[in-house]
Structure 1
Amino acid sequence: MLQKLLKNKVRLLQFIVLVTLLVLIRAFEDQLFYDPFLDYFKNDFTHLPLPNFNSFQLFLGLLFRYTLNTVVSLGIIYVLFKDVQMVKFALVLYCFFFMVLIAAFFYIILFIKGHNNLALFYVRRFLIQPIFVLLFVPGFYYQKQNK
């Protein structure tokens, strides 16, 4: 796969630009998104109470960040594989995982109320970081090789 990327410099440049966009989303997270949990999880969160937050703004902030990461990740998948069906399948997976994760996130916040901060940390991590692209690319590559 790396040899194919090196042969096609335009695709390599597109890939680098998309990865840079993911880095920029992370670098400017404080300015782009409402997320009181950014500072909370930078500290010793296991002994701290949950921060005050506006549920609606938090939902919109998480949705916006997840959407940005998803769009860039889908771009990466398209640039690597040039397969629209694969991108559509990944989009369905991204939507499904967002619904499951956002429900789990707010369930932990509203009903467990800080008694399981580690679960909250990991659910939030999947919502705000482009972890799924790291799982999908090798999976799609393996699937494409075995066709």
Structure 2
Amino acid sequence: MLRKILNHKVRILLATILVLFLALIRAYEDFLFYDPFLNYFKTDYHNLPLPEIENVSLFFGLLFRYFLNTVLSLAIIYVLFKDIEAVKFASILYSFFFVVLVIVFFFVFSYFGEANKMALFYIRRFIIQPIFLLLFLPAFYYQKQNN
């Protein structure tokens, strides 16, 4: 096992650097993105009204963050598996999930916001965090092991 790790030290180093970039996005989220929900969900939001938002600015803030997380996640998938087909498939899934999640997020916010704050919280979480990477890595590993 140690020999395998030593043989793949460059891949491990690159993947670690890419994960650090994901952490930097999280660390500087207040400066990089327009998202009034960042501070809102850090407070006692159950007793507060939803924050006022600019729909277009929020959409582009979410898009930019999702794009950065997606690019880094796809790079991690490529570095770890060296499979361009997996990257293509993952990019299609990332695109599909973004469209669905953003539509659902703005629909819930517009029509059910005050009543469904937790739904907003979790939908937004999937948009702003690289959660799909945590789902895709074991799936691609399993697929690679079975081929």
Q: Quick check: TM above 0.5?
A: yes
Stretches of structure 1 that go unaligned for 5 or more consecutive residues are: none
Deviation at 1:113, TM superposition (A): 2.7
Which residue number in structure 2 is paired with residue 111 of structure 1? 111
Percent of aligned pairs with the same residue?
Answer: 62
Which residue number in structure 2 is paired with residue 18 of structure 1? 18
Q: Give the secondary structure class of the aligned counterpart of 1:49.
A: coil
Which residue number in structure 2 is paired with residue 51 of structure 1? 51
2:113 touches 2:120 (CA, 8 Å); kept in 1? no
Deviation at 1:3, TM superposition (A): 6.1
Query: What is the TM-score normalised by the length of structure 2?
Result: 0.96
Higher mean alpha-carbon deviation, 108-117 vs 27-36, is at: 108-117
Runs of 4+ in 1 over 3 A off after TM superposition: 1-6
Q: Give the secondary structure class of the aligned counterpart of 2:48.
A: coil
Query: What is the TM-score normalised by the length of structure 1?
Result: 0.96
d(CA) in 1 for partners of 2:84, 2:2: 20
Higher mean alpha-carbon deviation, 48-57 vs 108-117, is at: 108-117
Which residue number in structure 1 is paired with residue 8 of structure 2? 8
d(CA) in 1 for partners of 2:106, 2:3: 44
Which residue number in structure 1 is paired with residue 131 of structure 2? 131
Which residue number in structure 1 is paired with residue 144 of structure 2? 144
The one-character-per-residue Cα deviations of 1:53-75 (angstroms, maximum 9, x if unpaired) are 10000000000000000000000
Stretches of structure 2 that go unaligned for 5 or more consecutive residues are: none
CA RMSD in angstroms, aligned pairs only: 1.4
Deviation at 1:4, TM superposition (A): 3.9
Query: How many residues end up aligned between the 2 structures?
Result: 147
